[in-house]
C-alpha cells in the first residue's frame, strides 16, 4: 500500500504542477506557500473533525510539527530560492536526486532503517532516469552558474530528507493517522512561512489582473498537489521505508510526461526510453527487501 501511495503522491504533484502554471505569476513563492497551506489545513481540519481520531501523544505532535517546519517551511523556501537562482531544471535535478539519497542515509543513521543492496540499485536506476529525462527536456535552457543556488538546492534536499525520516519514524510506529500527520506537518510549515512573510513584508494576496481567473486553477492544484499529495505521502510513510517513498515520489518528473501527453504534447524518443528504464528501477525497488 505504501508503494501505491507514494506513486499516487508523484502523480498528484505532476498534475498539480501543470495546473499551477495556469496561475501565471500571480502568486509569489511565499504567497503561494501560504495559501496552499491555509487551504489544505482547513480541509484536513474538517476531515479530522469528522473522523475523530484517537488522542495524539504529545511527543508525536511535536516531532511532526518540527518535521513540517523543516521539511515544508524551510525546505520549500530553499527550493524556491534555488528555482529563482539556477532555474527549474537544475533545481529539480539537485533536489530530486539528493533527497532520496539523504533520506536513505539519515534513515539508516537515526532510525535504523536499512535497505537491501538490490534496493540501492533500484534507487540508482530511478534517479538516473529522472535526471536524464529532466536534462533531455531542458537541453536548450541555460542558466548562469550560481553557487548559492545549488546550495539552496542541497538545503532543500536535506530538509526534505529530515522531514521524511521524522515522519517515517512517527507514522511507522502507528502513533498517529495519516490525515492528522499531514495536518500537523502543514501547521509546522506555516509556523515558518507566516513570520517570514511578515519579516520580508511580502504580499499576502496574489496580484491578479482584471482578466485573470487564477483561483479555480490554484484551488484545484492545491487540492491535488498539497492536500491529497501530503496525505498520500504520510500514508506511504506508514507502510514503506522512507528512502523507497522518497525515490518513488521523485518519479513525478516522469509522470509529468504522461500529463503532457494527455495535454497533446509529444515526448521525445530519449524521454520515452528513460521512462521505461525508470519503470525497471521501480520494479527492482519494490521487489526486493522486506516490505514495511
Domain boundaries, the chain: 2-287
174 φψ region: left (φ > 0), alpha (ψ -120 to 50), beta (else):
left
Task: List, for the chain, all residue ranges whose pLDDT scores fall below the cut of 50.
Answer: 140-143, 291-292
In whole angstroms, how far apart are CA 139 and each of 90, 132, 286?
11, 10, 31
d(CA 28, CA 87): 15
In angstroms, rounded to a whole number, what is the distance separating the alpha carbons of residues 292 and 30? 36
Q: How far apart are CA 254 and CA 11, in angstroms?
A: 9
Cell of 190: 506555516
Distance CA(240)–CA(84), nearest Å, equals 33
Locus of grid cell 496574489 = 206
d(CA 118, CA 280): 12
Residue with grid cell 521501480, as numbered in its chain = 282
How far apart, in whole angstroms, are the C-alpha atoms of residue 56 and residue 49?
A: 14
User: pLDDT, tens digit, for every residue of 88-98?
Assistant: 666 777 777 78
pLDDT in tens, 140-159: 444 455 677 788 888 989 99
- What pLDDT, on a 0 to 100 scale, did the predictor assign at position 292? 42
Torsion angle (degrees, nearest 10) of CA 105, 107, 110, 113:
-120
- pTM assigned to the model: 0.86
Amino acid at each position: 500500500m505504501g508503494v501505491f501511495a507514494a506513486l499516487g503522491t508523484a502523480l498528484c504533484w505532476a498534475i498539480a504542477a501543470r495546473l499551477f502554471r495556469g496561475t501565471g505569476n500571480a502568486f509569489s513563492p511565499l504567497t503561494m506557500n501560504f495559501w496552499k497551506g491555509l487551504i489544505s489545513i482547513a480541509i484536513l481540519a474538517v476531515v479530522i473533525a469528522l473522523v475523530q481520531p484517537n488522542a495524539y501523544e504529545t511527543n508525536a505532535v511535536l516531532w511532526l510539527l518540527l518535521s513540517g517546519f523543516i521539511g515544508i517551511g524551510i525546505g520549500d523556501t530553499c527550493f524556491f530560492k534555488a528555482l529563482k537562482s539556477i532555474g527549474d531544471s537544475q533545481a529539480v535535478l539537485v533536489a530530486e536526486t539528493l533527497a532520496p539519497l539523504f533520506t536513505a542515509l539519515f534513515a539508516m543513521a537515526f532510525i535504523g532503517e536499512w535497505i537491501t543492496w538490490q534496493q540501492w540499485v533500484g534507487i540508482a536506476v530511478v534517479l538516473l532516469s529522472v535526471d536524464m529525462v529532466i536534462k533531455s527536456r531542458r537541453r536548450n535552457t541555460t542558466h548562469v552558474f550560481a553557487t548559492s543556488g545549488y546550495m539552496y538546492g542541497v538545503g532543500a534536499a536535506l530538509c526534505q530528507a529530515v522531514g521524511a525520516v521524522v515522519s517515517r519514524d512517527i507514522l511507522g510506529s502507528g502513533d498517529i493517522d495519516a490525515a492528522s500527520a499531514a495536518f500537523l506537518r502543514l501547521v509546522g510549515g506555516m509556523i515558518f512561512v507566516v513570520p517570514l512573510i511578515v519579516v520580508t513584508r511580502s504580499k499576502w494576496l496574489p496580484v491578479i489582473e482584471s482578466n485573470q481567473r487564477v483561483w479555480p486553477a490554484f484551488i484545484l492544484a492545491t487540492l491535488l498537489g498539497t492536500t491529497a499529495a501530503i496525505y498520500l505521502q504520510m500514508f506511504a510513510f506508514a507502510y514503506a521505508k522512507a528512502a523507497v517513498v522518497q525515490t518513488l515520489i521523485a518519479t513525478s518528473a516522469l509522470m509529468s510526461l504522461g500529463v503532457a501527453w494527455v495535454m497533446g504534447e509529444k515526448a521525445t524518443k530519449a524521454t520515452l526510453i528513460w521512462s521505461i528504464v525508470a519503470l525497471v528501477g521501480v520494479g527492482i525497488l519494490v521487489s526486493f527487501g522486506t516490505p514495511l
